[in-house]
Amino acid sequence: MNEALFQFIWQHSLYKVTNLHTVDGEPLTIMHSGRLNRDAGPDFLEAKIKVGNTILVGNIELHIKSSDWLKHGHQNDAAYQHLILHVVYENDVANVAGNTPVLVLKPGVTHELINKYAVLMQSPQPLPCAGQHTKVREITKEGWLSRLLAERWEQKLGDWNVLLENAAEDWRNLLYWRMAANFGFKTNATPFLLLAQSLPLNLPVKQREHLDQIEALLFGQAGMLEGDFTDEYPRLLQKEYDYLRKKYNLTPIPGHLWKFLRMRPANFPTIRIAQFAALIHKSVHLFSQIIETHSVKEIAPLLDVTASSYWDTHFQFDVAQKEATPKSLGKTSIQNIIINTIAPIQFLYAAKQGTSDLQEKALQLLEAVPAEKNNITTMWAENGWKAASAAQSQALIQLYNNYCGSKRCLECTVGLNILKAV
């Protein structure tokens, strides 16, 4: 038994609730367990109980051992002078809380529940409840996934709000920054974001008609046009960039920030930058198009871009490939951008406008995208929980990263249902 588990048992009434008595032998009914208090003061607030024939409303304190009352110094603390109940697992010292009625909970808690909790906490598996969550009802799990997705977006969009403020509430800028970070995918998200932030959007947009100038600006600001090149194309970009850099007083980011190691060449930042340049070249009013479009069928073509022809035969400057292959963004990357940039920005925009139907449409967009395949979703699938859509795969990623990994099973609906089923 530990404090977190004891509070959990009390909060969810996971003890034998009938025929309760205080240590003084008074009949006790718990009408409302109270609201868990995570701040200073008693553990549960605004509880309602009946002791004998008297109904009491107020706060409740929990301790594993009654002597903890003294250890924690509650006898000298005014916040603990008017409790309606002191709930203890073991009553090792009598009358520590003066006249406050005392309930000893140990006889009402099953060993099975404590053992199940111990199994979850001691499991060395990455998914401690593997083999058990399949017993939880589908509808319960689906509801939990919806809440996890909301939690994931709340965390993510909190950061985006800060970016939006930095962008002086200019949504086109927010889209430009977030889209750039997304083009960096996991490994190069940070340098890609720094690149976009170092290059005001209006500059590449001004050169929209000229793909080579957009590339010159992006590769130059990425710090990738320094040094001597053999191929004519990078030399041309270098020349263009030198001119534009002086004209607009630009400072590139350090080139060493980009990571190429252990990446598939198709994901090299050079290819992604060239594709990002192609997106800017192709797009007119991208933000309004994205905000107004709510079907994958219509959004996907907006993002379907291919790097310029130099990249058909290269993954890096001056390193030629034997066979030419056009470097298109690809279906999976487009889906990734819909999941990580388009749907969240639509949701945030709708939230700021106060249009809940559009927020709902942003969520539905995720439901229309296939589930992501990565280590986490594969692990869930192998353990009997297969995501039906990107909305569910995002929620399962949130569950694994924020709950399972740190064993927050007591805060998880699956954990609650596993422990409840005793």
Shortest distance (Å) from residue 396 CB to ligand SF4: 9
DSSP per residue over 261-321, as a string? TT--GGG-HHHHHHHHHHHHHH-SSHHHHHHH---HHHHHHHH--B--GGGGSEEETTEE-
Shortest distance (Å) from residue 15 CB to ligand SF4: 20
DSSP 328: B
Shortest distance (Å) from residue 143 CB to ligand SF4: 14
Q: Is 116 in the site for ligand SF4 (CB under 6 A)?
A: no
* Contact with ligand SF4 (CB under 6 A) among 129, 279, 299, 307: 129
Shortest distance (Å) from residue 146 CB to ligand SF4: 15
Cβ closest to ligand SF4, residue 133 vs residue 314: 133
Q: Is 414 in the site for ligand SF4 (CB under 6 A)?
A: yes
Task: Kindly report the backbone phi and psi dihedral angles of residue 27, in degrees, each rounded to the nearest multiple of 5, phi listed first.
Answer: -60, 140
Cβ closest to ligand SF4, residue 134 vs residue 325: 134
The tokens for 414 are: 């699956």
Shortest distance (Å) from residue 141 CB to ligand SF4: 9
Per rule CB under 6 A, count of chain residues that contact ligand SF4: 14
Shortest distance (Å) from residue 408 CB to ligand SF4: 5
With contacts defined by CB under 6 A, name the span among 53-61, 84-92, 236-244, 399-407 that binds ligand SF4.
399-407
* Contact with ligand SF4 (CB under 6 A) among 34, 128, 191, 204: 128
Amino acid at 82: H
DSSP 78: G
With contacts defined by CB under 6 A, name the span among 8-16, 167-175, 283-291, 398-406 that binds ligand SF4.
398-406
Shortest distance (Å) from residue 139 CB to ligand SF4: 16
End-to-end Cα distance, the chain: 16
What torsion do the CA atoms of 215, 220, 222, 226 make, to the nearest 10 degrees?
130
Cβ-contact 325, 351 below 8 angstroms: no
Shortest distance (Å) from residue 49 CB to ligand SF4: 30
| Alpha-carbon span 291 to 369, nearest angstrom | 17
Cβ-contact 129, 396 below 8 angstroms: no
Cβ closest to ligand SF4, residue 83 vs residue 412: 412
Shortest distance (Å) from residue 119 CB to ligand SF4: 11
* Contact with ligand SF4 (CB under 6 A) among 403, 420, 421, 422: 403
Question: Binding pattern to ligand SF4, positions 132-151, x when CB under 6 A?
Answer: -x------------------
**How would you write 343-391 as a 3-class SS string?**
HHHHHHHHHHHCCHHHHHHHHHHHHCCCCCCCHHHHHHHHCCCCCCCHH
Q: Is 415 in the site for ligand SF4 (CB under 6 A)?
A: yes
* Contact with ligand SF4 (CB under 6 A) among 60, 87, 127, 149: 127
Q: Is 397 in the site for ligand SF4 (CB under 6 A)?
A: no
Task: Kindly report the backbone phi and psi dihedral angles of residue 376, in degrees, each rounded to the nearest multiple of 5, phi listed first.
Answer: -70, -50
Q: Is 380 in the site for ligand SF4 (CB under 6 A)?
A: no
Amino acid at 337: I
| Alpha-carbon span 375 to 361, nearest angstrom | 28
* Contact with ligand SF4 (CB under 6 A) among 32, 71, 408, 420: 408
Degrees to nearest 5, angle at CA 245 with 226 and 214? 85
Contacting positions for ligand SF4 (CB under 6 A): 120, 127-129, 133, 399, 403-404, 408-409, 412, 414-415, 418
